[in-house]
Structure 1
Amino acid sequence: MKGHFTNIVCVLNDTHKQDEVVAQAIHVAKRHQARLTVVLKLDALPPNAKMVMQSFAYLETQTSIESSAQVWLKDKAQAWQEKYPLDTDVRVGDSNNDFLHYIVESGFDLVIKLSEADFLERLFGSEDMNLLRKCPCPVWVVHRGNSRQYDTIVACLDLNYHYPEHEVSVRKKLNMDILRYASQVALMEFAQLHIIHVYDAVPENIARGGFISVDENHLTSDLQDIYAERDAELDRLLANLEEELDDGTLEYLAPQRHITHGYPRREIAIAARSLGAKAVVMGTVARIGVPGFIMGGTAEETISQLDCAVLGIKPEGFISPVSE
């Protein structure tokens, strides 16, 4: 069943207070009995570094940087390995695409990393976004300070299926995958599972701008129909999930449903925050059938408003632009 990991990579982007994210990676690896690799990924010095700053003179080559990094990582790994067996690797000077190639070639099925941005900024860094957009496997980005307090898990579903038939099929599979991963995380963390879907009958900026006239009675009726449609689809998804889980598991999870009308780009994050979400599980690709297509506005804006961990899931058939 999707949601079970076998080969996890924990990515460190510097040597500053990384024990927390490694502890989270060990926690997940233990629960899944997965192989774990801790990778220290460092930028290379620019070619003119010694011309700009004489203090760089002792770092003469990329090889010397890599050697020093390996010594640091080997020393840290001794303490980490007392808690769980793990491998280590150092990557210096990899471009984003080089590193994505490394992930693909290594067969990792989950990437865990600390957000580059400060917790209070509610904004993910450029490398976080690059992984969420292009990495073919799930990406779990955690914020410093809350990586082990996952008592509330939120699954964000897009239950709007008014699209071409092929896209609808893939969207349904993605929603099931999001539920599978969210339920596995909730079970692993002994957490409460919430499911959010926000629907919008008329784009708010169009209606608010007066570009179309709306019959309020018909709109109310339409919204009721949309709610019933989405509620029925969620029933179907949960029935499928119940068949996959062990007997009584879904009853134990007791997922709380939240289907609301509003502007998704704003209301999804608001709902997640109001529920006290510690981790949000969501799809992170906008268009189906377009290999490596960047995240859509709703996903990107939602992530930028969150102050909790995000587990980003790609749809079935997603092809990373670096693996073509």
Structure 2
Amino acid sequence: MKQFRSLIVVVAGKDGGQLAVDQAATLAAQNSGTVTLVDAITPLSDFLEIAGSNAAECHDEASKLKTEHMERLAKPLRDRGTRVDCLLLQGDLAERTVERVIVHGHDLLLKTAEHPHGITQHMFGTVGQRLMRKCPCPVWIIKAAPEPKLKKILVAISPFPLEQQRHPMNVMMMKLATSLTCMNDCELNVVSVWPDLALATKNEQSETKLLQDEALEEIVGPYRCQVDDLQTHLLEGDPADAITGLTLKLDVDLLVLGTVCRSNFVFFTMGNTAEQVLQRVQCSVLAVKPDWFLASVAKAAQERSRLFDGLLSKSPGLI
């Protein structure tokens, strides 16, 4: 099963990152893992525009406050024997955090949700949203819950035979969800949504449902022996509506879903279904990306750099 040994926690947020740190502490203790707490501060040049001659003093004071906050969060974990590093990054929090993950190979990023209603409020407008879009490792956005212990996990997969390119990510999500289910001794639910076939014949509907059911069981089957309580749900209709509705019906604590699709050779977009679901769900979310994403991010960065250099060579007056 997937083990979470190198955890990175973004501590910025309304609660100062406490929920995310608490979850990271639990995972680190169960897996003998390490935790890295990160926050970021804007460059000194930005302080110059606001504070003028007092910029350096203001920058130092802000750095001190952020560092002290991370050290306070780290102390209880260190007292229990967990290794914790505190890093104050310079610049944009999301970008610097993603760079840290790429260079140091963290296997899980945790962050407290920023909004009380839905994980995201604007298209890629929050730190959490940008991390879910760009971070190559799984990103766990944690929302406050009456009880911290997970009771119900829901995994949304796409096992339809025509979508075999998604199979590796389905397997990755099942491994992650199974690992968390075993750690928390909770209930695991797996959902797959097939399209509305109201215009299809009864035979076509029956055949499609049978194929979807078989494909779903092919993915879920190997994990039944690892989980005591595993339920499957084969639904029909709009995927975003069906998944969101099921999280409410089951009172799910954590939704695991894939979030990335290809858009072109330079940029990547969040899948339409994932975007809609993240706008609506009221539970915590573990966003997973395919294996090819890390290499593709590096390639995209190189391509953007090449295009930018080409633009500057044609228009030197831009700099």
TM normalised by structure 1 equals 0.81
Check the 8 A contact 1:101/1:323 in 2, yes or no: no
* Matched residue SS, 1:257: strand
* Matched residue SS, 1:173: helix
Cα displacement (A) at 1:12: 0.8
Closer/same/farther in 2, CA of residues 289 and 7 from structure 1, 3 Å limit: farther
* Matched residue SS, 1:90: strand
Q: Separation in 1 of the partners of 2:41 and 2:248? A: 33
Closer/same/farther in 2, CA of residues 161 and 57 from structure 1, 3 Å limit: farther
Partner of 2:257: 282
Partner of 1:150: 150
Which has more helix, going by share of residues? Answer: 2
Identity %, equivalent residues = 22
Map 1:1-324; keep pairs closer than 5 Å: 1=1, 3-14=2-13, 16-43=15-42, 45=46, 47-50=48-51, 57=54, 60=57, 62-85=59-82, 86-94=84-92, 96-117=94-115, 119-121=116-118, 123=120, 126-145=126-145, 148-163=148-163, 168=164, 170-201=165-196, 214=199, 218=201, 220-241=202-223, 248-250=225-227, 252=228, 254-287=229-262, 293-319=268-294, 322-324=297-299
Q: Structure 1: which 5+ residue stretches go unaligned?
A: 208-213, 243-247
* Matched residue SS, 1:180: helix
**CA deviation digits over 1:28-81, x for unaligned, max 9?**
111222111111234455542226xxxx94763544432342233224422332
Q: Which has the higher contact order (CA 8 A, sep 6+)?
A: 1
Q: Structure 2: which 5+ residue stretches go unaligned?
A: 300-319
* Matched residue SS, 2:244: helix
Check the 8 A contact 1:292/1:321 in 2, yes or no: no
Closer/same/farther in 2, CA of residues 159 and 69 from structure 1, 3 Å limit: same
Closer/same/farther in 2, CA of residues 91 and 187 from structure 1, 3 Å limit: same
**CA deviation digits over 1:65-110, x for unaligned, max 9?**
3234223322442233223422211124235333311221122110
Q: Separation in 1 of the partners of 2:267 and 2:295? A: 5
TM normalised by structure 2 equals 0.82
